Amino acid sequence: MRKQLLVCLNVLLLRLQTTSAACADNSTFTVKKKRPGRNCNWVKRDESRRQGFCQIPKVSKGCPFTCGTCCEDDKTFIHKGDTHFDCKWLALDEKRANTWCPETLKDEADGSNVKVEKKCPKTCGLCSDEVSSKPLKGCLSSYPEYDGDLEVLGRVKVWYKNHKKFTLKYKFKGLGADCVGCEISIHKGTSCETSDGPSRKYWNRKVLSEDPWNSQLIQYNSSDGSALGSLILSNGYSNDENNGHTVVVRDAGNVRIACGVISDARSANCFSPLSGCMTSYPAYDGDLEVSGRVKVEYTKHKYKPNRFKFTYDLKGFEADCVDCGIHIHEGTSCATVDEVLDHYWDPVLIPEDPWNEDTVYTSSSDGSASGSFFFE
């Protein structure tokens, strides 16, 4: 009976040790065999590196703790000193955990001196978010109905450093020279189609006592209106909960000047909108002299990857033209009438001509027209 009990205890201890080991990084694993220094610790030291490498299956398997695929306290850990405790005892009280987690103490299970947080990473808050979810990215352009002089283009990227905080990295141009106090924030809304779409700043009032976006200023803005930098913060929401929301940039006067949607969809080239100058139609012999610019920017909508924003700023039309059409055509030249060809769309995806009553402009009394519409 005693022998059977001893065997059962050994099996239980083995299972506990196996569970603990399975959730630890492989100490012999390297990203590249010929680069021994590129181990799990190397992956962990840089968050952008971790986000990239942990999406590789062999790295995720070799570094499960670093990649966040698991995070468990070592159930065999026990310290016997003036205060006897294990991870389970620490987890019962946050203040108790904060006191003991940074300490280096003896583990009675194996006799080693080790930091408590390494034996109790879950209790001590060292677990990293799993890198199975892709970073959130988005392109920003001028805020809907913004009528100022700035033409902002930019991109943002959001990835989580751990289960609490994320990094928001940004790159912009067109902000205006030496902007001091320009703000950036994730918003509750999920669309930049109208000025009301982005809604208010997005943060979890059940988790945070005050708005975390109040002091998040864009840094490194230069004399040419460009900006490059990053912020580390928490808005109380997870990667999935921020997915699909808008990002808004404000100038120093708190005016919203740029907007975009972040998502885990494939990213576009944010700094290469399609643009062109408009002049009179080939062989047109009427009295109108039309001129101006048009711009096409893909919005990177989470569920509509082919959706774009068509913006126009034109003059020389007849006065008060209501619902006059404006379209993209198949042709690649305006040299002759025959080269313009018909309306351009993919009949495989869209059976009927989409360039209809929704793709129109309305001119003012002086023959000018400016505005935008969204199209797919």
What pLDDT is attached to residue 36? 82
CA–CA separation, 107 vs 105, rounded Å? 6
Q: Report the relative pairing of strands 153-160 and 136-142 from DSSP bridges.
A: antiparallel
- Count of all residues that appear for the chain in the document: 376
Helix H or strand E encompassing 49: helix 47-53
CA–CA separation, 4 vs 256, rounded Å? 73
pTM confidence score? 0.50
**What digits encode the pLDDT tens for the residues 69-81?**
888 899 889 888 8
Q: Position of tokens 């603990």?
A: 20
Is a pLDDT exceeding 50 seen at residue 1?
Answer: no
Q: For residue 70, which amino acid is it?
A: C
* CB proximity list for 360: less than 8 A, separation 6 or greater: 323, 324, 325, 326, 373
Q: For residue 224, which amino acid is it?
A: D
Q: Count H helices, E strands: the chain?
A: 8, 15
Q: What is the mean pLDDT of residues 310-327?
A: 88
CA–CA separation, 282 vs 275, rounded Å? 19
Of 62, 72, 70, nearest to 42 by C-alpha is 62
DSSP E strand boundaries for the chain: 104-106, 113-115, 136-142, 153-160, 166-173, 183-187, 227-233, 246-250, 256-261, 274-278, 291-298, 308-315, 324-325, 360-361, 369-375
- Domain annotation for the chain: domains and CATH numbers: 16-119 (no CATH), 136-261 (2.60.40.200), 273-376 (no CATH)
Is a pLDDT exceeding 50 seen at residue 349?
Answer: yes
Is a pLDDT exceeding 90 seen at residue 374?
Answer: no
Is a pLDDT exceeding 90 seen at residue 257?
Answer: yes
Is a pLDDT exceeding 80 seen at residue 307?
Answer: no
Inter-residue contact 173 to 153 (CB < 8 Å): yes
* CB proximity list for 331: less than 8 A, separation 6 or greater: 339, 340, 341
- Comparing 116 with 56, which gets the higher pLDDT? 116
> How confident is the prediction for the chain on average, in pLDDT?
83
Q: What percent of the chain has pLDDT over 90?
A: 25
